[in-house]
Each structure stands twice: as C-alpha cells, then as structure tokens.
Chains A and B, each alone.
Chain A
Amino acid sequence: MKKTLQRIDYTASTKIQVLEPPSYYTFMLDAGYTSAVKKKEEVVIGDIIATCRNTHLYSSCNGIVESVSEKAIKITPHEESTKEQISPLSFKTMERSAQIEYLEANGIDSLWRNTKNVQVCIINALPTDAVAVQYMPFLFAEEKETLEHGIETLRSLYPSARIRCAVPKNANISMQSVEVVEYAKTYPYTLTPFVKQELEGQDALGVLTLSLIDLWRIGSIARSGKPLTETILVVNNAVVRCPVGYPLTSLLERLSISVDSVAGAVSNGVMNGEPLCTLEGGVLPHFYSLHTFKKEEIPPVTDDPCVSCGFCTSVCPVGIRVHLLNQYAERTMFEACQEEHLEACIECGMCDYVCITKRPIMQYIRNAKQHTKKMLPMG
C-alpha cells in the first residue's frame, strides 16, 4: 500500500515547460461564475470576464469574445488589439486591506483580514497529495524569486508573524528569508491541519496556513502588479506553466498525451481532487494538477454493502470510526454522523483508498457534510 502512495521523486530533473499559445481560450463558468463580457467584445490581458461574489476571472489573452454561454466563455486571440492594455498596479504600496481584497479577488482566500491576530504563518510545501506533487522542488529551484516576492508580501501583511516553511525531509531546500522546517511524515500527515498541529501544537492560536502554490500566486501578483492569468500545474509526469483558459485538449496534445485514450481525468490531486466530466473546458486559475486515466486505469467503485473489515478506521489519520460513519452517512442518519465526529474528517481519501469493497466512502461523507450544514441553524 505504501509503495503506491509514495511515487514522489524529489531528485527528478524535470523543468517547468512553457507552452505555445493555443488557437483559442475557454473559461469555464461552472463554479458559480457569471459572465461579465458580451459576444464580439474586445478584451485584453487582465480584463475581468466573469465574477463570482468577490472573486474574478481575468482574461489571459488579448482577443475577441467569440461565444458566451452559461457554461463557458470562448475567446480567440487577436494580437493587434485596439483596446488599451491594463497598466500594472503598484501592489506593494497599496494599503493592507486593499492588498488582501485584491488577492481574494484572484482566488486566494486563505488570508486573514485581521492582520494583528497572526502570530505564525506556516507555508506547507509538503506533498499534499499522494501523486500530484512533483512540482514542489521545481518551484524552489526555478521560481525562487517569485516565492521571495510572496514572502515579502506576507511580511508586509503580517509584520509581527513568524514565517515557517515545512519542507520534505532530505529535499535540500533552503530559503534564507524564512525558517525552513524539515518534516519526515508522509501523506496524509502532510495535509495542512496535521502540519499545523505538529509544528505549533494542538491548541495554538493565531496560526495562518498557506500552501506553496498560494505563496507562488501571491508572489506572482506582487511581482507583476497584474491579476493572476496563469498557473503552474502538474500534468501526469510533466510540469507546465500554463495560461488560465488553455483548452485541456490542446494541453494534452502539446504534452503528447493522446486525447482519444483519455477516459477519465481529475484535477488537484488523485486522492481528494475534483473529477472532470469532460475535456471540453480549459485550465481554471485554481488548478495545480491534472491527471488523466485510460479506461482500464479507472478504479472500480461499487455500491456493495460495508462488510465492517475495519481497514478504513485503522488508516484514518484523524481517528474517526469510519466503518460506522460511512454506514450512517449511507443511510442518511446525519445526527449519528455528527456523533461520530463527521466534522473532523479532513477528506484525505485514505479510507476510500483501502476500502476492500470499493465503496465511495468519501462521497458519502461529503454528502453527509452538505446535509448537516443545512441542518445547522442560520447564523
């Protein structure tokens, strides 16, 4: 079991690849975004093309909006734009609250608005997934300057906070401006709640946690003064720097992955990521990994009854009695779920991974969480 979960090669010398521009861009609107542009409208890099509450989706190319539907906005690049380019902000001289607001508009929602409360800021540079993590050392090697900009921004946002960065043991990562802490445990103990618990103790207050990719995003915005229009993502075994909206089919073709052989795909980690139902869309700003599967590689999922073997409970890093919880959740006994500490589940996917009857345990738990949220009194 552990052999499968540790397919991480820190010494691999893969470089971050830069892709050629695609022939069109697709911005998916399935996460609650509403379009802010019209058909045939001209857009430039950094224009807001869709919004969702305080978060915006920015155009990553100069071009003309070819189509707008409920699901997606399609933009064709057009370099000889007549519209004036957006000039960079002087991000570093902005007020703290305005900086945080701007970062939130770019989808970085883990920052605290009350800057005085932050005592420690932990950057989690550990593998937060069993497979999709190869890019971490490349960020340190190739994007060090951007990361330094990110740290500088954190320092200005939270002047009294100590910044600590948790890195894998023997990864030989050094950063002069922050305290680098080597962390020996493997997935799922590399997930942020455990790292926070290990580094600062169980009851520590004022601990802000941030993932390495979010630090890179902050650094990228601070450095350019422009909205985030690209992301770095792991696609199977390759690492690419990719504009937001890059069509997934073109992305796979450029990386010599046969689109016809792809029968399933998941973004942001194979253990607890989001499955994709189609390859028609484009890269979203919060993507940091994409894994594709051939038909025979997609694992089986059944609705067979739980046999109470107890493997799920034995691997649960939180200590939940999953063999009970998943059966309560399946039978919609949501109050019993809460008694079995439903809210403590961090959705690492280990229970699902070891389940011998291949039940969708995590899906049952997520469903129960959605229902119990509705059960809570308003406010």
Chain B
Amino acid sequence: MSTNNQLYVIPSPYLKAPLSYNRMMLDKCLAVLVLALSGIYFWGMPALVTVLCSALVALVTEYTAWKFMGKEPKLQDYSALTIGITLALFLPIGVPLWVVALGSIFAILFGKMAFGGIAYTPFPPVAVGYAMINAAWGKYLSPGDIAIETELVDPLTELKSFGIDSIELTFTDYIMGNQLAVIGATSLGVVLAVLAFLLVRRVLSIGIAFGYVIGITLFSYLAYMSDPTLYADPGFILSTGTVLLCLVLLTDFATIPTSCLSRTIYGFAVGAIVIFLRCYTELFDGAILAILLGSFLSPYCDMIRIKKLSKGGY
C-alpha cells in the first residue's frame, strides 16, 4: 500500500477463475506445434521449411498490420503463430514457398486483421488463407502430386480416381503415418492424441467434436449405402487425415456458436457439408472449405436458446 492509503480498485468480483484466453491459445499453439513436429518427422526438411515459412510470414504480416493500424502489436497472444503453423499443417510438402507465404498473408490480413483482430473474425483465418490459395493455385495443394517421388499412396486421390476398391491401406498405416497426406494429418495417431489434449484442456468443445463426427459418420454412411463402389465408408473417411485435423479450426471461438447444443448442431451441419463436398464436387478433400461454408451457419445455430429466462431475476 502506498503512503497515502490509496488502494488498487477493480470492479468486483475480486475472484476470478484460473482459466484464461492466453492459456487456451498457448495450449492450441502447443497442439499445432506437435502436429507440425510430427509432419517434420515424417517428411523431413521440406516440411520444416513450409512450416517455418508460413509461421514467419504470419508473424511479420500481423506485426506490420498492427503497426499500420497505429496500434501496439499483440503477438504475445500466440494467435499469429498458431495461424501460421496451422495453415502449414493443411499443405502438402512441395508447395512453392511463395504460395505458402501468400496463403499466410491472406489468412492474417483478410481472415483476421481486416475485421479488427481474432475476436471479431467471422471465418477461421486459416480457412480463408487456404481457400484463397486453393482457388488461385489449387494444383499445388494435392499430396498426390508428389506421388512419383515416393512409394506411399494418397488415399483421397486413389478414391477419387480409381474408386474405393483400389485402396490397400490398413488402419495401422493411417495410425502410423504410412500414407501420402498433408503435413499435419500424416499420422492419424498424432492427430487423435492432439485432439484429446485439446478436449481435455477445454479448447475444443465436446459438443462440436461430437456433432462433427456424428454428422460425417451419418452422411458418409448414407452415401456409402447409396453406392458402395463410388463412395467411401465412414471408417475410411474418419481414418484419413484432414477430416479430423479440421477440428483444430473449430476452436476459434468467434466463428463458432456459444452454447453446447448449438455447437453440436453446428458440428453436425459442418460434417454434412464435408460429405456433400466430397460426394458432389471435384474436391478431393472438402473438409477445410466445409468449415468456411459452415461459418455462415454459426449465427443461425446461435439463435437456439437453451436456457429459459428465469423469473428469479425479476
């Protein structure tokens, strides 16, 4: 206390829960870092270069944007770093670095900073950056393009080109990462472990994960039942990488509904859109774009009111 008995005053309550946004962002940053490290383990130097390029460009872009806006840069909330690393997770190795850099710039500038920061963005910034490079330079984004350099196969390209019967990968292959996939989704085992960590730390909501998995399972089962030779079964869809990896994108609070029930419905709807895009478009993997489209539904899902207003307050 100072000499004239002045106290620090904050508005009550003087008791706060320990959970903080910075801690949640740190958890998320650690989670994507683990996924990036697993990608570097499987793919070596090219993956490391992609991740570093994406992360550094994201940090520099955000720093410049804050300076341009005349505000103090807020890089310490891990948001820019997380966006940069996460974007790299959805890219295969071999993508030209200028494409990676442009994706990262788009994600930060048009996905985040154009709206005023992470709290105001209507779409996951990573999905915005990915959508941009997918639209402009989509030919670089398929893991199948590097198939000539390796004996591994890309199950999604195989499925789209030759049908479900051509795929010979086993569940162990998916778990251990013996497949061609994007950097973050090579090993299903690592993806599942990271998602479990995010669930435990309350960064990923149970409702959204549950709804998403149920949505995908149900609609892929319906598609599979309609034509088993053309469409994959739910087990296959959930085993291949990006579908589950996309749950990392559904942790941006500003872009998802707020209550558990509305989050479950939202997850279910996004899951349905994933299967729709896979079945009726030419996309190999529509998951990340499904999340971008699903963000439009978020405010509508949020209109569902679960709790009745209690008259106790009147």
Output the least CB separation between A301 and chain B (Å).
5
Beta-carbon contacts of A267-281 to B below 8 Å, as 1s and 0s?
A: 001111111111110
Contact yes or no, B312 A263, CB < 8 A: no
B13 adjacent to A352 (CB under 8 Å): yes
Residue ID in chain A nearest B258 by CB atoms: A310
Query: Which residues 251-297 of B sit at the A interface, judged by CB distance below 8 A?
Result: 253-254, 257-260
Would A308 and B20 count as touching, CB distance under 8 A?
A: no
- Do B10 and A301 have beta carbons less than 8 Å apart? yes
Question: Contacts A298-B10, A305-B119, A356-B20 given: A194-B312 contact, CB under 8 Å?
Answer: yes
Bound-complex Cα distance A353 to B20 (A):
11
Cα of A191 to Cα of B137 in the assembled complex, Å: 60
The answer to whether A318 and B21 touch across the interface, beta carbons within 8 angstroms, is no
B308 within 8 A of A: yes
Known: A310-B258, A344-B309. A291 touches B14 (CB 8 A): yes
In the bound complex, CA of A313 to CA of B263 (Å): 14
- B residues in contact with A270, CB < 8 Å: 12-15
Decide if B76 is an interface residue (CB 8 Å cutoff).
Answer: no
Known contacts: A131-B15, A300-B16. The answer to whether A193 contacts B312 by CB under 8 A is yes
For the complex, is A345 an interface residue (Cβ under 8 Å from B)? Answer: yes
Interface status of A266 (Cβ within 8 A of chain B): yes
Q: Are B6 and A277 in contact (CB under 8 A)?
A: yes
Check B7–A349 contact: CB distance below 8 A: no
Query: Across the interface, do B309 and A320 meet the contact criterion of CB distance under 8 Å?
Result: yes
Closest Cβ neighbor of B255 among chain A residues: A308
Look across to chain A and name the residue whose beta carbon is closest to the beta carbon of B24. A356
Contact of A298 among B5, B14, B119 (CB under 8 A): B14
State how many angstroms separate the Cβ of A347 from the closest Cβ of chain B: 9
Which listed residue (A1, A293, A308, A309) contacts B14, Cβ 8 A? A293
A307–B21 touching, CB < 8 Å: yes
Q: Is B117's beta carbon under 8 Å from chain A?
A: yes
Within 8 A of A (CB), among B219-269: 253-254, 257-260
Closest residue of A by beta carbon distance from B252: A307
Name the interface residues of A240-275: CB closer than 8 Å to any CB of B. 249, 259-266, 269-275
A319 to B310, CA, bound (A): 6
Within 8 Å CB of A249, what residues of B? Answer: 5
Max chain A Cβ within 10 angstroms of own Cβ: one of B17, B307, B308, B312: B312
**Chain B neighbourhood of A362, CB < 8 A:** 11-13
A177 at the B interface (CB under 8 A): no
Interface of B is mostly: loop
Contact of B7 among A264, A274, A308 (CB under 8 A): A264
Segment 291-316 of A: residues with Cβ below 8 Å from B: 291, 293, 295, 298-301, 304-311, 313-314, 316
Q: What's the interface size class on A, roughly?
A: 35 or more
Complex Cα spacing A24 to B232, Å: 85
Closest to B309 in A: A319
Which of B6, B17, B118, B311 is the most central at the interface, judged by chain A CB atoms within 10 Å of its CB? B17
Q: Which of B9, B19, B253, B310 has its CB near the most chain A CB atoms (within 10 A)? A: B310
A4 at the interface (CB under 8 A from B): yes
A197 located at the interface, meaning its Cβ lies under 8 Å from any Cβ of chain B in the complex? yes
* B136 sits at the interface (CB 8 A): no
- Specify which chain A residues have a CB less than 8 angstroms from the CB of B314 in the assembled complex: 193, 343-344
- Please tell me if B8 contacts chain A, counting CB pairs below 8 Å: yes
Query: A343–B308 Cα gap in the complex (Å)?
Result: 15
Partner of A262, one of B7, B16, B260: B7
B312 in contact with A358 (CB, 8 Å): no
By a CB distance below 8 angstroms, the chain B residues around A259 are 1
A residues 348-364 with Cβ under 8 Å of B?
Answer: 349, 352-358, 360, 362-363
Contact of B258 with A313 in the complex, beta carbons under 8 Å = yes
Asked if B171 is at the interface (CB within 8 A of a chain A CB), the reply is no
Task: Identify the closest chain B residue to A198 (Cβ).
Answer: B312
Chain B min CB distance to A296 (Å): 11
Of all chain B residues, the one with the shortest Cβ separation from A276 is B7
Task: Tell which of B5, B12, B119, B312 touches A278, judged by Cβ atoms closer than 8 Å.
Answer: B5
What residue in chain A is nearest B77 (Cβ atoms)? A304
Contacts of B259 in A (CB 8 A): 310, 313-314
Quick one: given A264-B7, A304-B119, are A4 and B13 in contact (CB under 8 Å)? no
Among candidates B4, B15, B21, B254, residue contacting A271 with C-beta atoms closer than 8 Å: B15
Verify if A56 is at the interface (C-beta below 8 Å from B). no
A196 to chain B: closest residue by CB = B312
Give the residue among B15, B253, B305, B307 with the most A Cβ atoms within 10 A. Answer: B15
Q: How far is the CA of A272 from the CA of B258 in the complex (A)?
A: 25
Residue pair A360, B1 in contact (C-beta under 8 Å): no
Would you call B307 and A346 a contact (CB within 8 A)? no
Q: Does B70 contact A (CB under 8 A)?
A: no
Proximity string of chain B (135-179) to chain A, C-beta cutoff 8 Å, 1 when within and 0 when not: 000000000000000000000000000000000000000000000
Known interface pairs A266-B12, A270-B13, A323-B258; 6 further A-B residue pairs with C-beta atoms within 8 A, sorted by A's residue number = A276-B7, A313-B259, A346-B313, A353-B15, A354-B17, A356-B21
Write the residues of chain A forming the contact surface with B, with a CB cutoff of 8 angstroms: 1, 4-5, 130-131, 191, 193-194, 196-197, 202-203, 249, 259-266, 269-280, 291, 293, 295, 298-301, 304-311, 313-314, 316-321, 323, 341, 343-346, 349, 352-358, 360, 362-363
The 6 closest A-B pairs by CB, nearest first: A310-B258, A319-B307, A344-B313, A305-B119, A363-B11, A299-B16
- The contact sample of 11 A-B pairs, CB cut-off 8 A, is A193-B312, A193-B314, A203-B311, A261-B1, A263-B8, A270-B12, A275-B7, A299-B13, A300-B16, A310-B257, A358-B16
